[in-house]
Amino acid sequence: MSSLRARMALLLVVAVLVTAASAGLLVFTLGAASLQLDRLVSAQKRLDLLSAVSGRIGDYALVALQAAQEGRGLGRDGLNAARQRTDIAFERFETTLAADVMRLGDEEQRTLMAARSRIVARLRAQFEVMDRQVRAALTQDNPAVGVRIALDVFAAGFGAPLGHAMEEERMAAQAAQDEVEALRVRTMRWGLLGVAAAIVLAVALYQLLARSLLRRVSDVATAASAIARGRSDTRLLVTGHDELSLAMARFNRMAAHLARREARLVADQRHLQETVDSRTAELRAANVRLSSIDVARRRFFTDVSHELRTPLTVILGEAEVSLRPAEPRADDMRAALLVIQNRARKLHRRVEDLLRIARSESGQIELERSLFPVAGLIDEVRESMRPVARAAGVALETDAPEDLVADGDHDWLRQTLDGLVANALRHSAPGSRVTISGRLQDGQVVLSVNDEGSGIPPEELPHVFERFWRGAGQTSEGNGFGIGLALAKWIVDRHGGTIEIESRTGSEADGAAGTRVTIRLPLTVPDETLEAAQ
């Protein structure tokens, strides 16, 4: 090219193309990453909804068995309510699946996604058949046998499709994770290739344009050398109106423009690198959180199976032993009924724990805010836990002024204190004491439960409010599911308050062992906090 104008135009076009290609690659990468993240979130949501369907069907089975034990025509209201909750769970999954199908742009992917609805429809049809069979069995002379047969037949055909559906959602989530990782690798590879190509192109343009100009324009070389030595005020004397004169004039403007452009390019590159590093860190953290949640849930379901199976085994065993004699003695029957009653209460507490944690996860807990005396609340907790304290040989004491009034949901706060006192009694030795107190401090209502038990190890304190976490070695019956403190924190948070735990183990030399749980509630619950709880 003999025209300087053409050469400069070529340089400009190349620069624009490189910039446009970089911007296009960035937009494409961010769009692809966002799409895969949406797929990951959608798959996880559908997996949670399938778990909810399984849980609702389990609740329905328990209600059906209870209705069968009550007799013909009884327990229908509970059965209808369980059926309605199960239908709602199915509808939520179907609505979410339909929304995910509509968001897909690829027709093949939409067809594959829509095919999953057939499995859900089959599961729902199986449930409806079981429901009709259960209702028909309840009208027979021996409803318990008919209900068990219906449940057994349903379980034989329901588990495999449900497991297949859940496995598909797990595979979809894993595929989205793998695609994000592959996208990151491809982006880095193409980015490095783009940088190398830009360097090669820059060198080629320099050889094509600059060397030719240096041979013909010695004064331009001299000025460039002066600027390279630090003389930034060096400018060329422009004479004439030809292309060379225009190039010399542009050289003068370039001296100032290059510095600004280089600064912008460095800033943009730094910002891009920070964005990539941030997104990578977020993805890694999300993977770690998902892995932790999966481990906790697997452990939770294992513990639930053990906790529910043990009292049921004892109940069935006592019933069978008592029914063996033709005419069992009254004392034997009473002793067996007492054992059955005790185990049934433990089983009821476990089921109530599961219901409360399910409501907290779905946001179904609504606070009924009112003013109530703190001393009355503490007295109710003491009376409800007095039999447990007497059985454990632990003294239960209270301390609260009569004029102290709190603003909140009386029932939920009572259940929270019941759980805290139950934990304190469970970890207290006979002859010790547990104190429930209330006071006004710094414009807040402060409720505390203090025990003289073995304490919590310091390494476990940061995890006590985590859901499903039960601490080292907490696997025996009666230790709960690891949801009590998590639910207590959820309720206190909805009241706009805070909950803290202080504990000392017996190995510490600065004082006796024991644990103190402190709840701080505002005198008035803010309206926005109450709305968030609803």
State pTM to two decimals. 0.39
CA distances from 201 to 14, 196, 204, 255 (A): 9, 9, 5, 22
Paired sense of beta strands 444-451 and 433-441, if any: antiparallel
Would you give per-residue pLDDT tens digits along the chain (534 residues)? Answer: 555 666 667 777 777 787 887 777 777 777 766 776 777 777 777 778 878 888 888 888 888 888 777 765 545 677 888 888 888 888 887 788 777 777 766 666 667 666 677 777 777 788 888 888 888 887 877 777 887 887 787 777 777 777 777 777 777 777 777 777 887 788 888 878 878 888 888 777 767 765 656 555 677 777 777 677 656 676 676 765 666 677 777 777 776 665 576 668 778 889 999 999 999 999 998 888 778 667 766 766 665 665 677 677 778 887 887 788 877 788 878 888 888 887 787 777 667 666 666 665 555 556 788 899 999 999 999 998 888 889 889 999 999 999 999 999 888 888 889 888 988 888 888 999 999 999 999 889 999 999 988 888 877 777 777 766 565 544 444 455 556 677 788 888 888 899 999 888 765 445 567 899 999 999 764 554 444 434
Instruction: Read off φ and ψ for residue 115, nearest 5 degrees.
Output: -65, -25
Do residues 39 and 183 lie in contact, with contact meaning Cβ atoms separated by under 8 Å? no
The tokens for 114 are: 């829509």
Residue in 120, 133, 43 with CA at minimum distance from that of residue 89:
120
Helix (H) or strand (E) holding 440: strand 433-441
Do residues 59 and 82 lie in contact, with contact meaning Cβ atoms separated by under 8 Å? yes
Do residues 109 and 83 lie in contact, with contact meaning Cβ atoms separated by under 8 Å? no
Length of the chain in terms of residues written? 534
